[in-house]
Amino acid sequence: MAEELKIGVLASGRGSNFQAIIDAVTAGKINAKIAVCISDVKDAYALERARKNLIAAEVIDPKVFQKREDYDGKIVETLKKHEVNLVLLAGYMRIVSPVLVEEFPKKIINIHPALLPSFPGLHVQRKAIEHGARFSGCTVHFVDAGMDTGPIIIQAVVPVLQDDTEDSLAARILKQEHRIYPEAVRLFAEGRLSVQGRRVVIKGAPECRDEFLANPPVRE
């Protein structure tokens, strides 16, 4: 029998993407258990969401550690304690070091609120507007040693409107994040993702192309 999928979530903030994953697991769309939510921020609302759903919630305070590697060592230890075999970054505001990445190769997934490789890093909704991009969106990708550089699993596109503010664009993108992040985790859970070089191949996936068609970039 295949090993049970046990998800560990790393989150620093409100955790709405985490909630989307919780909802998909609860609805039986993702065959997995969410074993733990770990945060670097003690009052992150994501922790509250974990507790409400009887998921272990742990805070690991970065200030206690001298180096990022030491901090990530503690994260690895905690994930292992909960027997995690898939790590989801959900609004996790720290750069992960090789200590974490090498322990979970192709088993760490992130959601980013732009169409990578455009606009990696922070404040990317603002950057997309300021750059004059006509479209932006979100990207679910595997995490590698770089920043927002890992193989892309799913993307969704939204228009950037002339009167958009950072907040209005972020809200439009977030709606799509909540749709594609659980979808990517479902594909992982079903063993349908394989990484070939930079590319992620999705087994038996007409929805790969439908993904774009189902999400045409029209004005809401």
Which residues are catalytic, by number? 112
- Strand bridging mode 152-159 / 135-142: antiparallel
Contacts of residue 171, Cβ cutoff 8 Å, sequence gap at least 6: none
Decide: is 14 part of the binding site for ligand GRF (CB under 6 A).
yes
Decide: is 168 part of the binding site for ligand GRF (CB under 6 A).
no
Decide: is 113 part of the binding site for ligand GRF (CB under 6 A).
yes
* Cα four-point dihedral sign 110, 17, 178, 133: negative
Of 90, 108, 158, 187, which one interacts with ligand GRF (CB under 6 A)? 90
Closer to ligand GRF by CB, 175 or 203: give it: 175
Considering only the stretches 24-32, 111-119, 194-202, 209-217, report the one whose residues sit in contact with ligand GRF under the rule CB under 6 A.
111-119
Q: Residue 214 and residue 46: Cα distance in Å, rounded?
A: 29
Of 112, 116, 155, 180, which one interacts with ligand GRF (CB under 6 A)? 112
- Max Cα–Cα distance, the chain, nearest Å: 53
Q: Residue 80 and residue 117: Cα distance in Å, rounded?
A: 31
Provide the 10 A C-beta neighbour count for residue 63: 7
Q: Residue 155 and residue 90: Cα distance in Å, rounded?
A: 16
Decide: is 160 part of the binding site for ligand GRF (CB under 6 A).
no
Instruction: Tell me the number of residues near ligand GRF by CB under 6 A.
Output: 13
Decide: is 115 part of the binding site for ligand GRF (CB under 6 A).
no
* Residues lying near ligand GRF in the complex (CB under 6 A): 11, 13-17, 90-91, 111-113, 174, 177
